[in-house]
Each structure stands twice: as structure tokens, then as C-alpha cells.
Amino acid sequence: MTNPIFVLNGPNLNRLGTREPEIYGHTTLAEVEAMCRQAAGSHPLEFRQSNREYEIIEWVHEAIDTPALGIIINPAAFTFTSIAILDALKMFPGPIIELHISNIHRREDIYHKSLVSRIATAVIAGLGPAGYPFAVNAMIEMVPDSGARR
Ligand code: CA2
């Protein structure tokens, strides 16, 4: 059994594609999930979204215990506020890709200081929804022994 890739999404991303298309595009989160599954091929993928910090922490613990091959996380606003998610991610021994649809560094100051970046293996920001399948491919290639058969 191949270890799954966890793709975790934070608050408000369930509304992707409905507002601010100039920043986030028109793609919905369901479409982002389909893009990830296509990139993953036969590789197992857990794709989740929550507006609750607690739930995201629980999912990181699940990724640790499973264990997941790697975690791709768009923590959304929790990127800038959640030491609890940072602490949970620190316990995960595998690769972590922090992902943002927008380029957070081109935006207002409040979006500049990610707590997660200091422990992330890699950071993807500004590629739009295309960043997700890019991250899935990168994760599979990052772990040569991932057993991916596509
Ligand atoms: O660019 C990203 O992916 C972000 O993580 C999105 C977060 C924002 O707080 C980060 O700075 C960057 C916000 C997500 C808001 O979700 C929306 C959902 C529907 C329409 C517009 C935004």
C-alpha cells in the first residue's frame, strides 16, 4: 500500500471560484481536487478543506500517524496566525509543501509573514490553482521511493 499525499486547505477556500477572481481565479476547490487527482494518477491522495483550526491540526496528526508520503498545505489565513498548526507540522518527518494560490508577497503587509515557511520544505505561491498539481508532481518526484505508477 502506497503512502497517501495529504492536501490540506484552510479557511474560506471552500468558496474558491466565487469571489475575487482577479486574485484567485475562477476555478472551484472541487476542480482543484480533480486537478490534483489527475496529477497523482494512481497515487492515493487525501484532499481536505476546513474552516476550523482544530480540524487541520487533527489532519496533520493523522498524516503523521498514517504516515503520509508528504503534506501539501494551503493554510490560508492560518498561515499568518497559527502557531498550533506550525507546531503540528513540525512533528511531521516528511516533506511539506506550503502552497498559496496568490503571490502573498505582492499583497498587503498582513500577508507577508508566513509562520509555516520556516519549516516548509518548499513554498509555492502565485501560480494560481495550477500550483496544486505542480505541488503534487513535485511531491511524488521529491520522494523517489513513492511507488507512484502513473
Ligand atoms: O493565495 C492563497 O492561497 C491564500 O492562502 C488564500 C488565503 C489568504 O489569506 C492567503 O493570504 C493566501 C485566503 C483564502 C480566501 O479564500 C477565498 C475564497 C473565495 C474567494 C476568495 C477568497
CATH number at residue 57: 3.40.50.9100
What is the Å distance from ligand 1's center to 57 Cα? 19
Q: Is residue 17 part of a domain?
A: yes
**8, 9, 13: which to mutate for ligand 1, most atoms within 8 A of CB?**
13
What is the Å distance from ligand 1's center to 145 Cα? 33
Distance CA 64, CA 71 (A): 10
Q: Is residue 64 part of a domain?
A: yes
Among the listed residues 87, 79, 57, the one whose alpha carbon sits nearest the alpha carbon of residue 12: 79
CA atoms within 13 A on the CB side of 47: 21
Q: Is residue 54 part of a domain?
A: yes
Q: Is residue 147 part of a domain?
A: no
Q: Is residue 149 part of a domain?
A: no
pTM above 0.75, yes or no: yes
Q: Is residue 21 part of a domain?
A: yes
Q: Is the CB of 19 under 6 A from ligand 1?
A: yes
Q: Is residue 79 part of a domain?
A: yes
For strand 70-74 and strand 96-100, is the pairing parallel, antiparallel, or unpaired? parallel
Q: Is the CB of 27 under 6 A from ligand 1?
A: no
Q: What is the pLDDT of residues 2-27, one digit of tens each?
A: 999 999 999 999 999 998 888 888 99
From the CA of 102, give the closest atom in ligand 1: 1
One pLDDT digit (tens) per residue for the chain, 150 residues? 699 999 999 999 999 999 888 888 899 999 999 999 999 999 999 999 999 999 999 999 999 999 999 999 999 999 999 999 999 999 999 999 999 999 999 988 888 899 999 999 999 999 999 999 999 999 999 987 765 544
CA atoms within 13 A on the CB side of 2: 20
Domain that holds residue 78: 5-142
Distance CA 34, CA 27 (A): 11
Q: Is the CB of 80 under 6 A from ligand 1?
A: no
Q: Is residue 150 part of a domain?
A: no
Ligand 1, atom 8, residue with closest C-alpha: 76
Q: Is the CB of 78 under 6 A from ligand 1?
A: no
Give the catalytic positions in this structure. 24, 100
Give the chain's domain count.
1
Amino acid at 54: Y
